[in-house]
Structure 1
Amino acid sequence: MPYYLLQAAYTAEAWASLVKNPQNRLEAVRPVIEKLGGKIEAGWLAFGEYDIVAICQLPDNTSAAAFSMAAAAGGAVKAIKTTPLMTMEEGLAAMKKAAGAGYRPPSS
């Protein structure tokens, strides 16, 4: 099953609610990921551009997009970013495939 890096930034209102009533939001979204056929591998709170980061397995891009849409529609996040991840083996296979693709950059 493919892996995805999920990153989300909370709204000020969501942070105010979490400060008032601290809760593990990974546990709150776990049932959503599982309902989409996926699994949360690991997750962290962060500071900077994104506030929460998770590595998840989801069946496909459609399921990953569905999670992003559901999370965004809830109103607690102001930004969400989903990045498909490849294993090193998949990356090496892509490099080998690229080598034989015959692409030529534009010449000046």
Structure 2
Amino acid sequence: MTTYVLLINWTDQGVKAVRESPKRLDAARKELADMGGSFKEFFLTMGDCDMVAICEAPDDAVMARFALKTGMAGNVRTRTLKAFPENAYREIINSLG
């Protein structure tokens, strides 16, 4: 599985219905699970992002599809970062010669 960091911000529509946000999170968890992925961590944050999620998915296409489907609902905008675990990071750096 590949790890992804999702930086999430509410849209105007999403913040107006913020009380429904936990239900939307539950639906997003199910949606990603149905695609073969999972939420590993979820945080409400202060600063540039309203929320941050650490997710896993089988591949980039699954995560792209999930992010697009989530965005289509109009409640959040996401930025997705592909995350390399420490062992992959070390391999990449060591391969530089």
Supply the distance in 1 between the matched residues of 2:37 and 2:21 (Cα, whole angstroms): 25
1:33-87 CA deviation, whole Å, 9 max, x = no partner?
Answer: 101100111101112222111101100000111111111111112x311101111
Q: Over aligned residues, Cα RMSD in angstroms?
A: 1.5
Match of 1:103 in 2: none
Q: Superposed, which structure 2 residues align to 1:22-101 within 5 Å? A: 23-77=22-76, 79-99=77-97
Q: TM-score, normalised by structure 2?
A: 0.89
Supply the distance in 2 between the matched residues of 1:30 and 1:66 (Cα, whole angstroms): 14
The share of aligned pairs that are identical, in percent, is: 25
Which blocks of at least 5 consecutive residues in structure 1 are unaligned?
100-108
Match of 1:17 in 2: 17
Supply the distance in 2 between the matched residues of 1:22 and 1:73 (Cα, whole angstroms): 15
For the 8 Å contact 2:4–2:55, the answer to whether it is kept is: yes
Which blocks of at least 5 consecutive residues in structure 2 are unaligned?
none
Structure with the higher strand share, 1 or 2:
2
Match of 1:4 in 2: 4
Higher Cα radius of gyration = 1
User: Which 4+ residue blocks in structure 1 deviate beyond 4 angstroms?
Assistant: none
Q: What amino acid does structure 2 have at the position aligned with 1:6?
A: L
Alignment length (residue pairs): 97
